[in-house]
Chain A
Amino acid sequence: MKFLEKIVHKHEPKFAKGGKLEKWNPIFESFTTLAFTPAITTSKGSHIRDGVDLKRTMMMVILALVPCLLFGIYNTGHWELVAQEGNRAIPYLDQFWSKVGAGAFVVLPLVVVSYASGLIVEFIFGVIKGHALHEGFLVSGMLIPLVMPADVPLWMVAVATVFAVVIGKEIFGGTGMNIVNVALTARAFLFFAYPTKMSGDFVWMAGDEVDGFTGSTALGDLATFTSDKMMVAGTEVVEGTSEAAVTMFQNTYSIMDSFMGMVPGSVGETSVIACLIGAALLLFTGVGSLRIMLSFAIGGLAGGFLMNAIGSNPYMDLPAMHHLLIGGFAFGAVFMATDPVTAAQTATGKIIYGFFGGLIAIFIRVLNPAYPEGVMLSILFMNVMAPIIDHYVIQANVKRRLKRLKTA
């Protein structure tokens, strides 16, 4: 490290104000602060409580994402093999290393493309506007590949990333100014721009499916429960009753499998247990908000119970608990809804924000089969609502205290 530090200090004057390469200072600074803590300290009126800066916070989130990434790589490899053989019964732990290899071959390019395209955009904006590279993209760049289906073409990931960084973030002024979650903006863009590559039965498993094999996800199957022809993993539910459908669904995607994440889905979203490990790390380091995560889950449960109470189609009869385990619910609650920039800021606001996020996610899932994954849309919707929630929470507080003042 000493050696590196020497090089950095040697070249520093060139990039300083008035130096030959002044224009490239943002890029130089970004790389040096990635390796070393900056020597600049706040000169007056600082409010720092500990030594953690934005870069260190972001690294914590990336560490929390590692379990999801690793599990996602293996899961992608597994389902690629399943699709090739056309056999869902392949034992999960068979051919461990060849699955790891196959999964890495699919997932790592997604990560590389997402980081490369996003960082290029950030660099361009950094040089034009003359500010240091924004750290925010470190996390978004990791989240984007984790919410993509395994079969998505790489160029689409690049287009979506550029769109999300420019329209979702830079247009509002960069990191810390964005209104909606950047990673979800990328996913929503692809969802509406290239629907055939983002939903349906043939995008969740990398490579080509063998003829006649349906690579549907749990949510995709559930969406058919609202139609006349109920399907579970490619086979039709023979007795068209609600009970039969739910039982068959739970046999195919058991609670345990859904919890472990041994089901098809977007790359990193399937495993609830990996999300929980990430959540533990985020909560332990104080990066994530427990209020949002818990109220999001409670909102989801409430939505599930409400649907059970109505129960007018087989989808509504799915046990509420199971809703939390399938699709991107856990991933969304832990990593997306808790984004400190786009979430509500007040303590009460966070609870309202999380609760309605979870509730609306289940509503969209169950009531609109055209959008099988409601978590993405509900979080984006609540992102937009967050400032209003905060406004009313603060106003209520002001009113309460004014009242106290008057009575005293």
Chain B
Amino acid sequence: MSEDVKKPSEPLFSKKNKKLVTDPLTDNNPITIQVLGICSALAITVQVEQGVVMSAAVLFVLIFGNVIISLLRNMIPSRIRIIVQLVVVASLVIIVDQLLAAFLPDVSEKLSVFVGLIITNCIIMGRFEAFAMANKPWPSFMDALGNSFGYAWILILVSIIRELFGSGSFYGIPIFGSPLPGEEWGLYTMGYMNNNMMILPPMALIIVGIIIWVQRSRNTALIEEH
């Protein structure tokens, strides 16, 4: 009987599975190490709220997508696999887009095309190709979890810095006071000003660059050979 030769099933939270979650958070981060998904990270990190919503959208799409692709992996003919993956991710993105438009119309408007552009986010197609096509649903789920949180914490960190210094607030709550002419309070009465460059995408690139710099100087094994 095949029952006898079947390997003992792997525990759900084995070391290997846990590593699938923790690795993308640090040493194999999709943004800082693989340098994927940069476009959205630069474009929508002006405010924390947008960063959080975008992260949640990517989390949803990546987890469901990875699991679906993993379930279908033995049925997908390899010649048309990219098209199948695109169909899956596009359907999921449409669901997210409609949900956001229905329940968070403000944020949805600010994110504009970038929700739709999740379809082309390299992290998602990359995980489908590199992981879900060759692994079982549970590890795929763990992998999606790790990668989307790895994406999320960079996004949220960048957006916290940009909102704090660019608009003087955190999640819409004023931290440094108000710069409105005539009714200034807080730091602005002492001549402090919001940094306009934080609002511009180049500054997000610089902040991501600094995160990469700090990460690689703490762990020199991550520095690429030239």
Contact = CB atoms under 8 A, between A and B. Distances in A.
Interface of A: 153, 155-156, 167, 171, 189, 192-197
Given A167-B206, A171-B213, A197 B197 contact: no
B192 to A, nearest CB: 8
B180 to A, nearest CB: 14
Interface of B: 191-193, 195-198, 200, 206, 209, 213
B70 to A, nearest CB: 41
Contacts of B195: 193-194
Contacts of B191: 153, 155
A171 B193 CA distance: 26
A192 B197 contact: yes
A39 to B, nearest CB: 33
A401 B195 CA distance: 52
Given A167-B206, A171-B209, A193-B197, 18 more contacts: A153-B191, A155-B191, A155-B192, A156-B193, A171-B213, A189-B197, A192-B196, A192-B197, A192-B200, A193-B195, A193-B196, A193-B198, A194-B193, A194-B195, A194-B196, A195-B196, A196-B193, A197-B193
Contacts of B206: 167
21 contacts: A153-B191, A155-B191, A155-B192, A156-B193, A167-B206, A171-B209, A171-B213, A189-B197, A192-B196, A192-B197, A192-B200, A193-B195, A193-B196, A193-B197, A193-B198, A194-B193, A194-B195, A194-B196, A195-B196, A196-B193, A197-B193
Contacts of A194: 193, 195-196
Nearest to B202: A192
A332 to B, nearest CB: 22
A167 B193 CA distance: 21
A156 B206 CA distance: 19
Contacts of A155: 191-192
Nearest to A153: B191
Contacts of B200: 192
Contacts of B198: 193
Nearest to B198: A193
Contacts of A189: 197
Contacts of A156: 193
A171 B200 CA distance: 21
A193 B203 CA distance: 10
A167 B206 CA distance: 8
A156 B165 CA distance: 13
A25 to B, nearest CB: 21
A192 B166 CA distance: 12
Contacts of A196: 193
Nearest to A167: B206
Contacts of A192: 196-197, 200
Nearest to A193: B197
Nearest to B193: A194
* A-B CB proximity, top 3 nearest: A193-B197, A193-B195, A192-B197
Contacts of B213: 171
Contacts of A193: 195-198
B214 to A, nearest CB: 11
Contacts of A167: 206
A193 B196 CA distance: 4
A167 to B, nearest CB: 6
A194 B195 CA distance: 6
A171 B206 CA distance: 11
A155 B191 CA distance: 9
B40 to A, nearest CB: 22
A245 B103 CA distance: 57
A164 to B, nearest CB: 12
A146 B195 CA distance: 22
Contacts of B209: 171
A153 B193 CA distance: 10
Nearest to B166: A193
B66 to A, nearest CB: 36
